[in-house]
Structure 1
Amino acid sequence: MAALPVSVIVVSQGRPALLRRCLLGIHQLAYHPVELIVVADRDGLDCIADLRFSGRIKTRLETRQNISAARNLGIALATGEILAFVDDDAVPEPSWLTHLIAAFEDPRVMAAAGHVIGRNGISLQWGSRAVNGSAEEMALDLPGVGPVCPALPEGYALKLQGTNFAVRREAIEQIGGFDEAFAFYLDDTDLAMRLHRAGLKSAAVPGALVHHGFAPSSRRHRNRAPKSLAQIGASMAVYLRKHGQADRVALGLEAFRKQQQGRLDRFLLHGDLEPGDVRRLRTDLEDGITAGMTRQPGQTLIPTVGNGAFLTLRDEPAPQAIYMAGRWFQARRLLAEAAQKADKGGTVTVFLFAPSVRAHRVEFSETGVWVQAGGLFGRSDRGQAFAEAWGFRGRVRAETDRCRPYRG
């Protein structure tokens, strides 16, 4: 079967450097054919203008603070049969689309969702989950790495994480694009519920991995403490009115208030928020809920921008996987050499080991290099023992084997 053409859509506001890093990761995807759509503010578009593949990116300027509207513009520009989404503060593993698009070999599957790795580059941030009309979620324990369409309780849909999912264009044509009443938060969950209620099948793909860092934005600080709760309050009110039972909206909102208060209390306890911040954010949340109770959902038509022809991001074969390793004191030389190899088109992973039991971290650098650093005797998987006896070469072989299924 011929590979399905995929349009990868990235929207960005206020994070130009992270957008650039995200696109470097997308350019290393093993899957082909791919086109890349970027909908961003002026700073973001300016920051990516000198990328060596910038001429292969479809771009659109968007200054409104509305993630659903930006994604709809991206869909309007896209020409792929499959539309895939990843956030600007995330980077996909090179095998991401290879795993994710495998779900669409079943013609009945209309959407697919992968797993999300957290800020340490190793632990799971979000796995497969189901969600109902009251925005209540349940974790799904799925075997293997390949696509599976799980049996779900009545009223539950497979949750789509906005930073790692794909949908067939024909499904969007049937149910409409993102609901712009969700300016931020639950936009992806709303789409998942609408797919489910239209009787369209979704698949979970545990092997389709994206690394997500929870970067600071206009809505949250670097420590993840919120700057504003207005939009998530508004979105929750819209979601419950749209998908929940009418007589349970008030109960759903009260449960959401308690959840958010608990979140604020934890930030206060750790010194990340002051009491005055908590009072302001509680007021902010109530203002958002009030606005959401009158916000009209359902405006999901895709604007006509004129998408033209499919613009292939890369003509050459999939990047060669390159693995390099050294001691911590060799880091500067190794990383400089790795950056040169990445700039020439390779997918480069650098292992940096210190004589300690420090747990490992994985990051994708601004130069396009995967860097795994930690103790020679430390764990690289949270299921491993705290410390193990390793020789240097044996550890390099083991970590290379661990990365190969995802990085080639």
Structure 2
Amino acid sequence: MKYFLAIPTYNGGEVWKESIHNIKKFAPADLFVQVIDSGSKDGTAELATQAGFHVTSISSQDFNHGGTRNLAVDMAPDECDVVIFITQDAIPEEGSLQRLVAAFDDPKVACAYGRQLPHHNATPISRHARSFNYTAKSHVYTLADAPRAGLKTVFTSNSFAAYRISAFRELGGFPSNTILSEDMYFAARAVLAGYKVAYVAEAEARHSHNYSPIEEFKRYFDIGVFHGKESWIHEKFGGAGGEGKKFLISELRFLLKHGVMFLPRACINNAMKIIGYKLGKSYKTLPIGVTRSLSMHKRYWK
């Protein structure tokens, strides 16, 4: 399988330098890397050019999680079968790109995502979230798994994920204007069309966030907006199947062992997630000014 790497960037900062270093260190020397930069002011695009990456610049106002990544696929070299998306703050580990692409040896796999490990500066809250959501066991999901796995059947993450370009184009790619979760949108369409979604635990990248309670609220508000707009995904695949309760119990046990002082912060974070998500699903009842103020991705509302 021939593949290329696509990375949307905006003011990548120091972690972008680490990401570039590992890509250059572990990727094949002739790998085509497409960067789409949304008006960075900190030298992010210049660093990509110096690394030998192909850089396309767009206005920050034109960025969209789905549309910008569709643009990257439109720029795919003719010989490529697979596109790997990675975010500017994700740092691939040795062999991770090759292991992720190996999932496409199964011709029915339309998309595959790798295991996300926490950054070295991750808090215990963030470390637990990564270990809970990205386990050490790989799996492949099809529509037959939906009654058991529910929404997890179509979970994936474009922080480190790959797509079969032929299937991507066949299914129309990502929605061109979405607040986030373009990856889940595509995975749901792919599974309904008879394709598979693969999780490759052996393909690892470091990626995590130490979100504040307000940031968690805003992020989950946007997730709620997505599910409110794309209600067909819940209708076809159901809910999270009790994953929320499992997460809370797992987090409590983890923090009691590895960071008991973070328990109050975790309680506040989880409350903010729930409130944000519920408000987001009801975004149509809110004035547009309020909606935009509650959102993490404010450019979407323009």
Separation in 2, partners of 1:98, 1:104? 11
- Which of residues 53, 66, 69 in structure 2 aligns to 1:68? 66
- Percentage of identical aligned residues: 19
Query: How does 1:116-195 map onto structure 2 within 5 Å?
Result: 116-120=116-120, 126=130, 142=137, 149=140, 153-155=145-147, 156=150, 157-184=153-180, 186-195=181-190
Compare the two structures and name the one with the higher strand fraction.
1
Letter in 1 for 2:228: A
Whether contact under 8 Å (2:6, 2:85) holds in the other structure is yes
Query: Where does the alignment leave 5 or more consecutive residues of structure 2 unmatched?
Result: 252-260, 287-302
| Residue of structure 1 in register with 2:31 after alignment | 34
Q: What SS does the corresponding residue of 1:199 show, helix, strand or coil?
A: coil
- Which of residues 204, 209, 234 in structure 2 aligns to 1:244? 234
Query: How does 1:340-351 map onto structure 2 within 5 Å?
Result: none
Separation in 1, partners of 2:6, 2:42? 14
Say yes or no: does 1:288 pair with 2:283.
no
Question: C-alpha displacement at 1:142, in angstroms?
Answer: 3.1
Separation in 2, partners of 1:99, 1:90? 16
Q: Provide closer, same or farther for how the CA distance between residues 222 and 78 of structure 1 changes in structure 2, counting only shifts above 3 A.
A: farther
Question: C-alpha displacement at 1:93, in angstroms?
Answer: 0.5
| Residue of structure 1 in register with 2:298 after alignment | none
What RMSD over aligned residues (CA atoms) do the two structures have, in Å? 4.5
TM value normalised by structure 1: 0.52
Separation in 1, partners of 2:111, 2:132? 13
Separation in 2, partners of 1:167, 1:128? 24
Separation in 2, partners of 1:127, 1:202? 20
Separation in 2, partners of 1:60, 1:21? 21
| Residue of structure 2 in register with 1:398 after alignment | none
Whether contact under 8 Å (2:67, 2:177) holds in the other structure is no
Q: Provide closer, same or farther for how the CA distance between residues 179 and 256 of structure 1 changes in structure 2, counting only shifts above 3 A.
A: farther
Q: What SS does the corresponding residue of 1:245 show, helix, strand or coil?
A: helix
| Residue of structure 1 in register with 2:111 after alignment | 111
- Which of residues 263, 266, 269 in structure 1 aligns to 2:264? 269
Q: What SS does the corresponding residue of 1:244 show, helix, strand or coil?
A: helix
> Residues 102-146 of structure 1: CA distance to partner in whole angstroms, max 9, x if unpaired?
1223333322222111134896854797xxxxxxxxx87736xxx
> Residues 194-252 of structure 1: CA distance to partner in whole angstroms, max 9, x if unpaired?
1111111233321100101316xxxx54996545654222112123x122229x99xx6
Q: What SS does the corresponding residue of 2:223 show, helix, strand or coil?
A: helix
| Residue of structure 2 in register with 1:203 after alignment | 198
> Residues 21-42 of structure 1: CA distance to partner in whole angstroms, max 9, x if unpaired?
3222222224464211222222
Letter in 1 for 2:64: N
TM value normalised by structure 2: 0.67
Letter in 1 for 2:12: R
Q: What SS does the corresponding residue of 1:101 show, helix, strand or coil?
A: helix
Whether contact under 8 Å (1:100, 1:112) holds in the other structure is yes
Separation in 1, partners of 2:69, 2:83? 10
Letter in 2 for 1:174: E
Q: Provide closer, same or farther for how the CA distance between residues 193 and 121 of structure 1 changes in structure 2, counting only shifts above 3 A.
A: farther
Whether contact under 8 Å (1:68, 1:187) holds in the other structure is yes
Q: Provide closer, same or farther for how the CA distance between residues 140 and 47 of structure 1 changes in structure 2, counting only shifts above 3 A.
A: closer
Q: Provide closer, same or farther for how the CA distance between residues 76 and 51 of structure 1 changes in structure 2, counting only shifts above 3 A.
A: closer
Q: Provide closer, same or farther for how the CA distance between residues 39 and 202 of structure 1 changes in structure 2, counting only shifts above 3 A.
A: same
Question: C-alpha displacement at 1:293, in angstroms?
Answer: 8.5
Whether contact under 8 Å (2:225, 2:280) holds in the other structure is yes
Separation in 1, partners of 2:182, 2:116? 17
| Residue of structure 2 in register with 1:234 after alignment | 225
Q: Which of the pair has more CA radius of gyration?
A: 1
Whether contact under 8 Å (1:7, 1:78) holds in the other structure is yes
Whether contact under 8 Å (1:128, 1:159) holds in the other structure is no
- Which of residues 4, 21, 27 in structure 1 aligns to 2:18? 21
